[in-house]
Amino acid sequence: MARVLEFENVVAQHYGPLYQFAFSLTRNEAESCDLTQQTFYIWAAKGHQLRDISKVKTWLFTTLHREFLGSRRRQTRFPHIELDDAAGDLPAVQPASVNQLDSEQLLEALGQLDEVYRAAVVLFYLEDYSYNEIAQVLDVPLGTVKSRLTRGLHRLHQLLTNVPPRP
C-alpha cells in the first residue's frame, strides 16, 4: 500500500513536466502519453534501484529521453537538418512577437529543430535545470550541452523570426 502511495506521489509531482517534455520532442499527443506512461512503468519496475531519492526527477527525464531515442531508432529516421554555423548575427526575435505566438507555433518551430538540439532546448526552457543537470539527463558532457543549446537556440530564434503572425 505504501508503495502504491509513493508511486502516486511521484506521478502527481512529475507527470506534467514529463508529458510537456515528451510532447515537445514528439509533437504527438498519443506518443507523448505512451512515453510518459512507459517512463513511470520503468520507474515502478526499477525505481527502487535509485539510492538518491533527490534524483528522481532527473532519473525520470533521462529515462523518458532514452525511451524517446529508442522509439525513434525503431522508426524511420527523421531527415537530419544541418544548422548554419552559430557564429553569424543572432536573429532579432522580439519578446513581443514571442508573446503573440501560440503554443502550436512554438511547438512547430521546436519540431523543426534537429532532435539532438530539441531535447536540450526543451529541457532548458521547461525545467529549471542547470547545464550540468541537462548534461546528466542527456548523458552528454557539459561542453556538448552548451554547444547544443547555443546552436539549438540560435536556430529556434531564426525559425521564430520567420513565423508569420496569426490572423
Partner 1 sequence: MNSTQAKQILIIYRPGMTDADDPEIAEALSMVRNDPGLSHWFDQHCARQIALREKIRQIAPPAGLREQIISEYAARTKAALRREKILAVGCVVAILLSFAVLASVYLPRNHVAPPLPNTLANYQNQMIGAAVSGYYMTAMTNLDQVHSWLAQNHAPSDYVLPVGLKKAAVTGCTFQNWKDAKASMICFRQGKTLPQGQPGDLWLLVIDQTAVKDPPADAPPRVATIDGLATATWTQNGKLYFLAARGDEQTIQKYL
**Closest CB 76 distance from partner 1, rounded Å:** 25
Report how many residues bind partner 1 under the rule CB under 8 A. 46
Instruction: Write the secondary structure of 122-141 as one string of H (helix), E (strand) and C (coil).
Output: HHHHHCCCCHHHHHHHHCCC
- Regarding 131 and contact with partner 1 (CB under 8 A), the answer is yes
Instruction: Return the C-alpha torsion angle 36, 38, 43, 49, nearest 10.
Output: -130
Q: Outline where 27-102 has alpha helix (H).
A: 29-46, 56-74, 95-100
Which residue, chain included where needed, has cell 503572425? 165
C-alpha triplet 64, 134, 74: angle, nearest 5° = 35
In whole angstroms, give the CA distance from residue 24 to residue 26.
Answer: 6
- Regarding 7 and contact with partner 1 (CB under 8 A), the answer is yes
- Regarding 68 and contact with partner 1 (CB under 8 A), the answer is no
Footprint of partner 1 on residues 78-117 (CB under 8 A)?
86-87, 89-90, 92-95, 98-99, 101, 103, 106-107, 110
- Regarding 140 and contact with partner 1 (CB under 8 A), the answer is no
Write out the residues near partner 1 by the rule CB under 8 A. Answer: 4, 7-8, 11-12, 15-16, 19-20, 23-24, 29, 33, 36-37, 40-41, 44, 86-87, 89-90, 92-95, 98-99, 101, 103, 106-107, 110, 122, 124-126, 128, 130-131, 146, 149-150, 153-154, 157
